[in-house]
Amino acid sequence: MSGRPAKYDLVSIEDLETSDIERIFDLADIFTEALEAGRSSAVASGLIMATLFYEPSTRTRLSFESAMHRLGGSVISSADMHASSAAKGESLADTVRVVSTYADMIVVRHPYDGAARIAAEYAAVPVINAGDGSREHPTQTLCDLYVLRRKKGHLKGLTVALCGDLKFGRTVHSLIYALARFGANIVAVPYGGMDVPEYVLARVAEESNYGLSTVTIDELKSLAGGLDALYLTPSKPHQMALFTGEMPLERLPAVRPPALLDAFYVTRLQRERFTSGEPSQSAYGHFDARALRTSRTQEAVVMHPLPRTDELDYELDSDPRAVYFEQAAAGVPVRMALIAWMLEQATPPHRRSRLEPPIKFKSEVTPRCPNPSCIGRHEGNYLRPRFRLGRSPNRSLLMLRCDYCERELRVEFVGHTRSRRYYRFDESLYGFVRQWIEEGTLAVFDTVKEAEECDYEPYRRGPQREIMNAPEIARACDSLADQIVADAAEMTSLVIVGVISRGALLAIRLRDLIEARTGFRPPCAALDVCGRETCLITIEGPEQFAVDDRTVVLVDDVINSGWTVQCAMTALWQRGRPAAVKLAVLIDRGHRALPIRPNYIGRSIPTARSERVQVRLTSASEVEKRRAVDRVVLYSMVDALGPIKETEGA
């Protein structure tokens, strides 16, 4: 039996040194020859590979499995994770921990960005990323580079046009990192606005001091005029500069004639990753032999990671420059080479992290990753949001970078967890923020409302005054309950939904008051619009909280701008089709940015725009502890925060 491999995870193509890739290619040459000659290998004899595929796959899974068999090893597979415990809600972490006791290495494909990193963190055996969401697909890149090098003899200095869905195409992202490292020139040709994401560009710029040029599909089609018209290659190696026509020629850095186009790398529209606003297949480009007819493209090979849909003409298949089936075929020897190379590594790599440790947040002020496909948002039971300071062009912006998926989040408001003050972030706070990160006292908020919900106060505020006390609040609630009951045509169709957090406390009070008046206890739910996910939580009501054909009374404490109410309305309509949605507010302050009018008002208290009304309500548990007392306070915002934008005040 071969020795078990060291814990060497391949999550990103950047986990491999250039020399590692070269060694893998040498091994791949040997295995290609052996396969052609029908010679077998026993490199992995007695070892077991587990393939866990949470997403469809043909080439990647089968070529990994074939590679392992060809090396004398064996494979256990969960090709359809819907038929595994994942369907029962098992976490990725638990699955890989268990599978680590059954296999010597794990190959994982997953729909969420950053999933392979998590699998690698929790598995005791090496993990190979076979594609994680739209992030990376490093072993496809090994196949791509291997074929490209075989066709062109080298990688350095090649010019590769990446065409298609460069936004969600994970093969493209890994390929960009690798081509940048090997010194190839990259021309991005996104179809329909599917541009290379900012975080990918930022990474190549930062790590490889590399910039890629972008041309539109129309510009590419006009290649008959030669690439010179499109871009110029500065003498600085591996850097492309797009000639936009805005910069006078003499100011451009010294240029040498552009290279020929050596390869087109075409990708399909990754429809399964769409969120909204992405192009339709019909608006997507179609690549055919015409692109190869110009003097500068006639030597180019056409690559595609496959599967293709409608973007690549079948007529190209017989053209010797079409190499996509060779890329797929290379899957076996290249993956054999990767496994054999992993077995050569006696010890795991000693990578010193260049990154500072993640920022420690207290749970109530932890930011949320903006990427809906981030693994951290889907495996939240055990994965705490993890952020580091992001890349900011200067100190006037505070960016946080999600550690799981690399997406960045712009922070508008920062707070200090001990003083419980919040501030609008500006350059003057940068030093403090760094200090608070070190102390573990940084809080971040999207909106003023969010800061207030967490009981933070503005750094500077005008005098605060109480405008309602507990008996007045109780009377306003009574008035609301009376109005709702008087208005209800049929009590049994009524449901109450409170916007978290004060609106939800009010909703429970109103539900009790309505029950005291009518004997009917309406179902009650809390709606979280500014938390991790917009979600509806049923409060001691029936399991299925239906809004269809019901009259929903949506309860909030104060309307500041109306944005929260609008989000809540959208969330309700996504949930079903209510007969009506009526809005009940404890305090109407008289103005709002959106044309939203409450149906039921506890009390009208006209206030100025710069003033904030803050409602403090006692929850049942606080009553027991005799802590807080109901009150409504008014204060005005001054300087340090600047004017509050409508969306921020929410």
Catalytic residues: 59-60, 88, 109, 137
Amino acid at 144: D
Of the candidates 572, 549, 446, 601, the one whose C-alpha atom is nearest the C-alpha of residue 498 is 572
Q: Given candidates 131, 190, 503, 598, which one binds ligand NCD under the rule CB under 6 A? A: 131
Of the candidates 439, 403, 24, 491, which has an alpha carbon nearest to the alpha carbon of residue 199? 403
Tell me the closest approach of the beta carbon of residue 58 to ligand NCD, in angstroms: 8
Min dist. Cβ of residue 285 to ligand NCD (A) = 15
Q: Which residues, at least 6 apart from 9, have a Cβ–Cβ distance to it below 8 Å?
A: 15, 120, 126, 127, 128
Cα–chain-centroid distance for residue 238?
29
* Peptide bond just before 19 cis, omega within 30 deg: no
In terms of CB distance, is 332 or 586 closer to ligand NCD? 332
- Shortest distance (Å) from residue 619 CB to ligand NCD: 48
Q: Where are the beta strands (DSSP E) in 250-402?
A: 255-256, 263-266, 301-303, 387-389, 398-402
Nearer to ligand NCD by C-beta: 178 or 650? 178
- For 149-180, give the DSSP string: HHHHS--TT-EEEEEE-TTT-HHHHHHHHHHH
Q: Smaller CB distance to ligand NCD: residue 59 or 386?
A: 59
Report the DSSP beta bridge partners of residue 443. Answer: 415
Q: Which residues contact 153 (CB under 8 A, 6 or more apart)?
A: none
Nearer to ligand NCD, 128 or 477 (CB): 128
Report how far residue 430's alpha carbon sits from residue 433's, in angstroms, rounded to the nearest whole number.
5
Closest CA to 434 of 450, 447, 416, 412: 416
Does residue 140 touch ligand NCD according to CB under 6 A? yes
Residue 273 Cβ vs ligand NCD, minimum distance, rounded to whole Å:
10
Interatomic CA distance for residues 283 and 102, integer angstroms: 47
Applying CB under 6 A, the site for ligand NCD has a residue count of 12
Decide if 377 contacts 369 (C-beta within 8 A). yes
Q: How far is the CB of 137 from ligand NCD (least distance, A)?
A: 5
| Residues in contact with 144: Cβ distance below 8 Å, sequence separation at least 6, in sequence order | 171, 175, 265, 303, 305, 327
In the chain, the N- to C-terminal Cα span, in Å, equals 64
Task: State the nearest-atom distance from the C-beta of 90 to ligand NCD, in Å.
Answer: 23
The interface with ligand NCD within residues 34-63 (CB under 6 A) comprises 59-60
| Span 260-279, contacts to ligand NCD by CB under 6 A | 267-268
- For ligand NCD, the binding residue among 32, 171, 185, 208 (CB under 6 A) is 171
Element (H, E) at 308: none
Q: Minimum CB separation from ligand NCD for residue 169, in Å?
A: 6
137 binds ligand NCD (CB under 6 A): yes
Using the minimum distance from each CB to ligand NCD, give the nearer residue, 60 or 614: 60
Rounded Cα–Cα distance for residues 341 and 349 (Å): 13
262 CB contacts (<8 Å, ≥6 apart)? 148, 152, 158, 159, 160, 299, 300, 301
CA–CA separation, 242 vs 240, rounded Å? 7
Nearer to ligand NCD, 81 or 497 (CB): 81
CA distances to 162, 188, 237, 299 from 263, rounded to whole Å, are 8, 12, 19, 8
Binding mask 287-326 for ligand NCD (x = CB under 6 A): ------------------xxx-------------------
**Can residue 110 be called a binding residue for ligand NCD (CB under 6 A)?**
no
Least CB distance to ligand NCD at residue 131 (A): 5
| Minimal distance, residue 378 CB to ligand NCD, in Å | 19
561 lies in the site for ligand NCD, by CB under 6 A: no
Output 15 or 299, the one with its CB closest to ligand NCD.
15
Return the number of the residue (54 or 545) whose C-beta is nearest ligand NCD. 54
89 exposed, middle or buried (CB, 10 Å; 0-12, 13-18, 19+)? exposed
Minimum distance between the CB of residue 351 and ligand NCD, rounded to whole angstroms? Answer: 25
When the beta carbons of 60 and 607 are compared against ligand NCD, the nearer one is 60
Phi-psi region of 164 (alpha: psi -120 to 50; beta: other; left: phi over 0): left
Is the peptide bond between 307 and the residue preceding it cis, with omega within 30 degrees of 0? yes
**From residue 569 to residue 588, what is the string marking binding to ligand NCD with x (rule CB under 6 A)?**
--------------------
* Assigned token pair, 110: 């997953």
Q: Does position 135 bind ligand NCD by CB under 6 A?
A: no
Q: Which is nearer to ligand NCD, 143 or 212 (CB)?
A: 143
Binding positions for ligand NCD, rule: CB under 6 A: 59-60, 131, 137, 140, 170-171, 267-268, 305-307
